[in-house]
Amino acid sequence: MSKTKANTYVLDLISAGADLAITYTSQDCSELARELSGEFSITAKAFKCDTADSKEVDQSVQKIKKGFGKDVDIAICNAGPFRRMLGCVRR
């Protein structure tokens, strides 16, 4: 799946009211989560997670479930700068 296609799926889901958990490895995405929460009237939260570490992924899933108070319904794996690509998708 291309990164642009993955971003389009995310935008479609949050436009329909889906809540969003954003994972990141180095650059904190909390600001992006706040922006998307406001713009789309959803709950978006950022979680640090090294997806190359399976234990960390398991721990992050638990943190996400606790943070939202529900299970994860959909996971879209998309390594790349969403903020930069978001502008490309919206055009």
pLDDT tens across 13-71, in order?
999 999 999 888 888 889 999 999 999 999 999 999 988 888 998 999 999 999 999 98
- Global confidence as pTM: 0.77
Residue 88 has pLDDT above 70, yes or no: no
Which pLDDT score is estimated for 79? 60
Residue 77 has pLDDT above 80, yes or no: no
3-state helix, strand, coil in the chain (%, to 5): 55, 10, 35
Which pLDDT score is estimated for 63? 94
